[in-house]
Amino acid sequence: MNKIGSVAFVGILLVFSWLMLKLTLPYFTFEYDVSFLLTKQSILHVVSWRWAFYIHISTSLLVLFTGIFQFVNYLLEHYPRLHRLLGKIYLVTVLFFSAPSGLIMSFYANGGLWAKVSFVIVSLLWWVFSLIAYQKIKQRKVAQHIDFMIRSYALTLSAISLRLYVIFIPQLIHLHSHEMYTLVAWLSWVPNLLIAEAIIRSGFFQRGAEVVSG
């Protein structure tokens, strides 16, 4: 990615990360009458769900932020140790905290069975892609590592796309709340993954492989 593209990419994602932080902070009052939690009153007594919720919203912010810089070649070229450190933080957090907590929450998702199925699939794919990314870099298969990091981060970004769809889709079509949430559940990650595959095929980020291999 060239310098202008890197600055634009990082800038846009930092703005969205800041907005996500602002949306998330109210939950750390640990009150149960805050935004999304108002829709979960019937399961707030489930201890595993409560733990999963707070782990997920806090660690997802961390992976959203650390993941941004994995695709900036300037960082890889000039600060490879920082790149590796942020990558380790990203992968460990996804594998041990964010994806598992997301999976637990999936079984209690709003929107009925198909919304639950969507969130289960995305949680499992997120975990699997991140694990494979780790395995590939350990095997020094840098190009494949980059491809799976792109897939993993595309699913990380579903946290942002979900909230954007929640805001804008109701302005375009009118559906029952369950149907709307099911639609948003699938839209939040399927287009992201399709875009990720298009980016992978384009070789847009593969200069990073040349930097590491060279």
Q: How many domains does the chain have?
A: 1
Write down the pTM of the prediction: 0.88
Straight-line distance from the first to the last Cα atom of the chain, in angstroms, rounded to the nearest whole number = 17
Give the CA diameter of the chain.
Answer: 56
**Mean pLDDT for back-to-back runs of 10 residues, the chain (214 residues):** 66 84 86 85 92 94 91 83 94 97 95 94 98 96 94 95 87 80 94 95 67 49
CA distances from 84 to 10, 162, 212 (A): 18, 29, 11
pLDDT of residue 29: 86
pLDDT of residue 2: 56
Helical segments of 139-204, H only:
142-156, 158-172, 177-187, 190-202
Angstrom distance (rounded) from CA 47 to CA 45: 6
| Identity at 159, one-letter amino acid code | A
Residue 23 corresponds to which tokens in the numbers above? 């949306």
Residue 214 has what pLDDT?
45
Residue 63 near residue 98, CB atoms below 8 Å: yes
Domain interval for residue 150:
3-213
**Cα separation of 58 and 47, whole Å?**
17
> Cα–Cα–Cα angle for 150, 89, 66, nearest 5°?
55
For 32-64, b/e burial (b = at least 16 CB within 10 A) is: eeeeebeebeeeeeeeebbebbebbbbbbbebb
